[in-house]
């Protein structure tokens, strides 16, 4: 997957043998893992990658551009996974506060759009209808 246009503030650069390579920062990559989970094998696979990527993310420095460029549903799912699955409450708190600062409103959404199951539980903070189980692989 790739995006045609990415705002400059969401990019990082690295030098390579062939020149400068530009790629998304850890925060946008985390959002993209959730937003495009159907292309990488589902939310469990996304959560497995996020488990390591979360060490590099810092949502306290995220700009409004990140929140304008990504769907609120992806942010909700990411926050829920960080907090409930990966036990990253501190990062989830920062992400939630950024949502509040930038005035994003949350509506109840299903955790998985690919599951037909009736919700088992509701997460009232992230407004997620938990309709699937997410398990990370041991890597």
In tens, the pLDDT along 41-51 reads: 999 999 999 99
Mean pLDDT of 61-74: 88
State how far the Cα of 34 lies from the Cα of 52, in Å rounded to an integer. Answer: 14
The tokens for 42 are 């589902």
In tens, the pLDDT along 5-42 reads: 888 889 999 999 999 999 899 999 999 999 999 999 99
State how far the Cα of 99 lies from the Cα of 134, in Å rounded to an integer. Answer: 24
> Which run of H or E residues covers position 130?
strand 128-130
Please state the pTM of the whole predicted model: 0.90
Which residues, other chains included, contact 33 with Cβ-Cβ below 8 Å and sequence gap of 6+?
40, 46, 49, 50, 53
In tens, the pLDDT along 71-106 reads: 999 999 999 999 999 999 999 999 999 988 888 899
pLDDT of residue 139: 57
pLDDT of residue 1: 65
**Within 10 A of 92 (CB to CB), how many other CB atoms are there?**
22
């Amino acid at each position: 997957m790739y995006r045609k246009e990415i705002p400059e503030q969401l990019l990082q650069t690295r030098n390579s043998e062939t020149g400068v390579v530009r790629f998304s920062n850890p925060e946008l990559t985390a959002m993209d893992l959730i937003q495009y989970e159907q292309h990488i094998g589902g939310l469990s696979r996304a959560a497995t990658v996020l488990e390591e990527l979360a060490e590099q993310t810092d949502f306290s420095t995220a700009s409004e551009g990140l929140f304008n460029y990504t769907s609120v549903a992806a942010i909700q799912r990411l926050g829920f996974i960080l907090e409930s699955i990966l036990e990253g409450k501190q990062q989830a708190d920062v992400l939630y506060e950024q949502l509040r600062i930038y005035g994003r409103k949350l509506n109840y959404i299903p955790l998985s759009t690919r599951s037909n199951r009736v919700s088992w539980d509701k997460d009232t903070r992230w407004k997620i209808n938990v309709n699937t189980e997410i398990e990370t692989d041991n890597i």
